[in-house]
């Protein structure tokens, strides 16, 4: 929050806000739009207010979810995972989340600098749930679901606006085309943007599952965007 009595209207903080929630009012003081604010604390930590007019608030649920999805130093109480998602496919050689015959998805919603209301994340998750996807249990968004089979989020969080969130899920490879089509359809119904990450195990002959489908349908992709060097030891071997 901004202590209005202390603000001198220097506007130094305005360009620091990633969600454009800070503006100068008619009183020549900086004000925060509570709906747009994503509780990222960038203004408090980086803007360098000359009169220390910013003050952190003790956030209560459900507004506190904004802070969890915008920072990396606070973990969600139900998952103990900080930030917007998990390590997804970046550590698959250790976690073994995505096995042969499966496709892992991560839908990075709201970036860069767009944000979203969680009701739009719900629309995406509910559209996918109809196709039998399995949501990642350690994902902070999954922990906010009141029904993981339908992808329904808790009603009390739907109006909360976050910097970004990353629904993560897996499917059997044969359902890949229908899930892609579901994503295309729901993308026209939500008021934000998202980018798609995919993870598959490479076949023994060196071919990559799903790549032929992407090529045939002229879907652009960046192969190997998050591939590590494969020296991790699967958890099952510890």
Whether residue 90 is found in the same domain as residue 175: yes
Last residue of a domain, one of 9, 29, 57: 57
Structural domain count, the chain: 2
Contact 225, 199 (CB under 8 A): no
Interval 11-38: pLDDT, tens: 999 999 999 999 999 999 999 999 999 9
Interval 113-157: pLDDT, tens: 889 999 999 999 999 999 999 999 888 899 999 999 999 999 999
State the Cα–Cα distance between residues 136 and 215, nearest whole angstrom: 27
State the Cα–Cα distance between residues 196 and 218, nearest whole angstrom: 15
Whether residue 133 is found in the same domain as residue 16: no
CA atoms within 13 A on the CB side of 22: 26
Per-residue confidence at 50, pLDDT binned at 50, 70, 90? Answer: very high
- Segment 63-88 shows an average pLDDT of 77
Q: Which domain holds residue 7?
A: 1-57
- 102-109 and 194-199 beta bridge pairing: antiparallel
Residue 64 lies in a domain: no
CATH number at residue 162: 3.90.1170
Residue 66 lies in a domain: no
Per-residue confidence at 99, pLDDT binned at 50, 70, 90? Answer: confident
State the Cα–Cα distance between residues 50 and 65, nearest whole angstrom: 29
Instruction: Give the chain's end-to-end CA distance (angstroms, integer).
Output: 47
Whether residue 157 is found in the same domain as residue 79: yes
């Amino acid at each position: 929050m901004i202590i209005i009595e202390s603000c001198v209207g220097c506007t130094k903080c305005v360009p620091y806000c990633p969600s454009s929630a800070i503006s100068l009012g008619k009183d020549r003081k900086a004000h925060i739009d509570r709906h747009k604010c994503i509780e990222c604390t960038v203004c408090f930590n980086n803007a360098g207010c000359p009169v220390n007019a910013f003050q952190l608030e003790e956030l209560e649920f459900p507004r506190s979810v904004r802070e969890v999805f915008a920072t990396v130093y606070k973990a969600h109480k139900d998952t103990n995972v900080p930030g917007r998602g998990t390590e997804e496919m970046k550590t698959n050689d250790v976690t073994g989340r995505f096995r042969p015959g499966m496709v892992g998805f991560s839908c990075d919603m709201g970036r860069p600098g767009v944000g979203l209301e969680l009701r739009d994340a719900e629309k995406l998750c509910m559209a996918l749930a109809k196709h039998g996807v399995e949501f990642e249990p350690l994902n902070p968004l999954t922990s906010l679901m009141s029904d993981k089979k339908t992808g329904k989020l808790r009603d009390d969080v739907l109006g909360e606006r976050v910097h970004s969130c990353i629904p993560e899920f897996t499917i059997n490879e044969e359902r890949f085309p229908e899930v892609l089509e579901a994503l295309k359809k729901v993308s026209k119904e939500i008021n934000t943007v998202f980018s798609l990450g995919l993870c598959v195990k490479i076949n023994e002959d060196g071919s990559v599952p799903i790549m032929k489908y992407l090529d045939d349908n002229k879907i652009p992709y960046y192969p190997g965007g998050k591939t590590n060097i494969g020296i991790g030891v699967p958890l099952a071997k510890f």
